[in-house]
Amino acid sequence: MDTSDLFEKPDGIYALSHSVGPLPKSASYALQTEYLQTWAKQGGDAWPLWLEQIDTFCDAIGRVINAPHHLICPQINLASGFYAFLTAVAKLPTHKHRSTILMHKDAFASMGFVITGLVKTFNVKLHLIQGDPNDIDAWYSAFENHSVLACLVTHVHSNTSVKSNVADICKIAKQFEAFACVDIAQSVGIVPVDVKQWQADAVFGSCVKWLCGGPGAGFMYVKDALLPSLEPDPIGWFSHENPFEFDIENYRAAQDAKRFWGGTPSIAPYVIATASINTLLTLTLPAVVTHNELMKQAIAQALPENRRYAEIKEHCASFGGSLCIPAIDNARAKAKLDQNRVKYDCRGNVFRLSLHIINTQEEALIIGECFIS
């Protein structure tokens, strides 16, 4: 698929979409016309137009994750949304006896740090599931043996690209009357996400990776039935039902998910992200996913026959958008990747490689051959 007219492509073979997705050309145009020009021409009167852009962003995210736009709230990142949600549910009188937050040990560290910050204020504690992220018995046992307030399921793990069986874990959470939360940062845009099918209570995502929306455009989804009972920390004027009322003695929380929004928001990141998401939706997300699957297969097929690569070669379709490859000879693989100008990163002795819609099969084969000793 030729996407040269749609995306900027960094020099070399770009395989870092798990970190920052490639920049769609539409994003630069949108930033100029929908944000900067509006600011230049309207000044302080630009707010109504900017807020229309926020609504458009929420609508675009809703189309990606199968949720109505009023259940989406912009966030600066995943941690901010997770923090706000936990502060809200921890206050509920019916859950005051619950204190444990469950997540797998391979969850994104930032989400664990959120719990660290809440320990003293809300008396919560973190319990980490060990072993296979999809060991349902381990999850069940953890729920059974701890007073669980909420769990966080990582849809795709950043260090391994292993996908979690989100629906099954959310189902267990419901059995124990705990809140089911999902981190979709490494999946949204490249692995299908359906919040209705999962029946999750809250979902946290970012546009910086596979959605190609750049940093700063995070978001959260909150189940409709929960909203009236949730009072998050912190709040600000954009958490208000009418942000422009300005009555300091009359706070009324927004009736939709924007009660989680807070103070004066950024606008530019969401203008950029909306344009980027719409580019991907124009290509269609199934086509983007299929292209990624072909890229992963090409890398896997080019890997040498060795037991170290057996699982990747046989089951590459079961992973998220990335392949996390442990080299037989790390130094040699690194030298070859660098020689071929491949943009990648490492976690320990594992090479993380992610090919998006801008990449070609030829590039995938080059990457695979870099691991041949």
| Contact call for residues 204 and 220 (beta carbons, < 8 A) | yes
Reply yes or no on whether the pLDDT at 342 is more than 80: yes
pLDDT tens profile 106-133: 999 999 999 998 998 899 999 999 999 9
Structure tokens at 125: 């504690």
**Band of pLDDT at residue 300, cut at 50, 70 and 90:** very high
Kindly report the average pLDDT of the chain as a whole number.
96
pLDDT mean over 254-273:
97
CATH code, residues 28-280:
3.40.640.10
pLDDT tens profile 21-37: 999 999 999 999 999 99
What's residue 96's pLDDT? Answer: 86
Question: Hey, where are the domains in the chain?
Answer: 28-280, 284-369
Q: Which run of H or of E encompasses 135?
A: none
pLDDT tens profile 40-73: 999 999 999 999 999 999 999 999 999 999 999 9
pLDDT tens profile 282-299: 999 999 999 999 999 999
**Band of pLDDT at residue 348, cut at 50, 70 and 90:** confident
**Band of pLDDT at residue 2, cut at 50, 70 and 90:** confident
Identify the burial level of 310 via C-beta atoms within 10 angstroms of its C-beta, where 0-12 means exposed, 13-18 middle and 19 or more buried: exposed
Dist. CA 28–CA 134, nearest whole Å: 40
pLDDT mean over 289-311:
95
DSSP per-residue letters across 206-266:
ESSSTT---TT-EEEEE-GGGGGG---SS--GGGBSSTT---TT---B-SSGGGG--SSPP
What's residue 234's pLDDT? Answer: 86
**Band of pLDDT at residue 1, cut at 50, 70 and 90:** low
pLDDT tens profile 147-195: 999 999 999 999 999 999 999 999 999 999 999 999 999 999 999 999 9
Question: Hey, CA dihedral for 343, 347, 348, 352, is it positive or negative?
Answer: negative
What's residue 226's pLDDT? Answer: 97
pLDDT tens profile 64-105: 999 999 999 999 999 999 999 999 999 999 998 999 999 999
What's residue 116's pLDDT? Answer: 93
Dist. CA 126–CA 103, nearest whole Å: 8
pLDDT mean over 268-275:
98
Reply yes or no on whether the pLDDT at 369 is more than 90: yes
Dist. CA 222–CA 204, nearest whole Å: 9
